[in-house]
Amino acid sequence: MNAPLYDIAISGAGPAGSALALALANKSPRPERIAVLGPQFAALGATLTPSNTAALDPRALALNYGSQVFLRQLQAWPTTAANILQVHVSQRGRLGRTIIDHTELGVPCLGSVVSYDALLSALHGALASSGVTLIHARPERIQLIDNQAVLTLGEHTLHSRIAVQSDGTQPQGLRREYQQHAVLATVRASHATPGWAYERFTRYGPLALLPHPEGDDLYAVVWCCQPPMAAELLAMNHDDFAAALEAEFGTRLGRFHCVAPKHVFPLSLHAGPTLLNNRCVSVGNAAQTLHPVAGQGLNLGLRDTAQLTHALTPWLLRPDSDPYPYLLRFADNRRPDRWLTAAITDFLPRIFSTRNPLVEHAAGLALLGMDILPPLRKTLSHQLLQGLRT
């Protein structure tokens, strides 16, 4: 059996995999023995620039304050971001609403919205000077052979003591199809309120308007609805789409004007184990893919990376030792936060879109209760802000 070339091989150079590599590099005495494999890299060990990262991605990402602190520590925070200071949560056609304010939680902001490409560019720029090994490849499979992780790259193989799957491979386990698609758009509002984000539950799915990093009067729209409706929205011209958005959201932000092409993504829940075998773990979307309500997907993935780094820090000082106890501890510690976050993001879009008047009224009363009783509001807000701490 070949000797391991690397201590840790990370399959996937997206936000979660890149952040993990940077965090581990800060703790490792030999960062070159950490390999990151991704098709975004132009060549082995290449210097990365925005021109040779992934193709443009339309997503705007809502990163909570905890994620912002983590990425700043990695020196990988994008130069352009839109802060979220308040979140207005409401239900269309029913009473009840609540407002989450950053001052109530004692943080400078609840989070920030960044573009996917700006975040990836910042992460890849930091990777280029981190000392880790960058490999332009997507592993075809990862196997456990003689207590080594073996990654197959075409006709070649790569051997590592630990492998981390962070490449968006769909996890095997819990699965739910929501029968919803997310329509993404960017709109300009005539009466914008900088710093405010909106989550509006409709009978067809949640509708979010997030401050956009490219302008104080711009909003990133995430409109979740049934596939036929999503197809209709996608086919609309800009004026008709803006009118439909105003009809569903209301006029508190004035008139809308669509300023960029629309995109549609299907929505589903997939969640599986983080510990795949005694040498391989999964993080990010390879561990769980969530409904976008409340914007928890990447935030949960970054908490995966932070906790895996914490778990492996002692092992990195003596990588000849068995890593399994450290990986097992990581999996056990991550379980409560992962499953609670998945449960919240699974429950919210389903309970608000039952189209049952009694359930809708009950949901409205729940929003009203959170508005009247700060402890209820703070409990949910802390979970969305920083996850369940163990």
Amino acid at 77: W
Distance CA 292, CA 182 (A): 8
- Other Cβ atoms less than 10 A from the Cβ of 311: the count is 21
Distance CA 164, CA 304 (A): 11
pLDDT in the model for residue 361: 47
* Cα 239–Cα 84–Cα 307 angle in degrees, nearest 5: 120
Q: State the pTM of this model.
A: 0.91
pLDDT in the model for residue 373: 58
Q: What DSSP element (H or E) covers 116?
A: helix 116-128
- DSSP structure string for 70-130: HHHHTT---S--EEE-EEEEEETTSS-EEEEEHHHHTSS-SEEEEEHHHHHHHHHHHHHTT
Q: Are 223 and 207 in contact (CB under 8 A)?
A: yes
Residue in 342, 347, 259, 275 with CA at minimum distance from that of residue 308: 275
| Cα 117 versus chain centre, distance | 13
DSSP lists the bridge partners of residue 64 as 111
Q: Are 77 and 71 in contact (CB under 8 A)?
A: yes
Instruction: Select 6-57+117-173+269-347's CATH number: 3.40.309.10, 3.90.1150.10, 3.50.50.60, 1.10.645.10.
Output: 3.50.50.60
Phi, psi (5° rounding) for residue 325?
Answer: -60, -35
Phi, psi (5° rounding) for residue 176?
Answer: -145, 130
pLDDT in the model for residue 50: 37
* Cα 179–Cα 183–Cα 189 angle in degrees, nearest 5: 145
pLDDT in tens, the chain (390 residues): 566 789 999 999 999 999 999 999 999 999 999 999 998 764 333 333 333 434 468 899 999 999 999 999 999 999 999 999 999 988 876 666 788 899 988 999 999 999 999 999 999 999 999 999 999 989 999 999 999 999 999 888 999 999 999 997 889 999 999 999 999 999 999 999 999 999 998 888 899 999 999 999 999 999 999 999 999 999 999 999 999 999 999 999 999 999 999 999 999 999 999 999 999 999 999 999 999 988 899 999 999 999 999 999 999 999 999 999 999 999 999 999 999 999 988 988 877 666 656 555 455 555 555 555 566 566 767 777 777 665
Residue in 18, 14, 119 with CA at minimum distance from that of residue 60: 119
Q: What DSSP element (H or E) covers 364?
A: helix 357-372
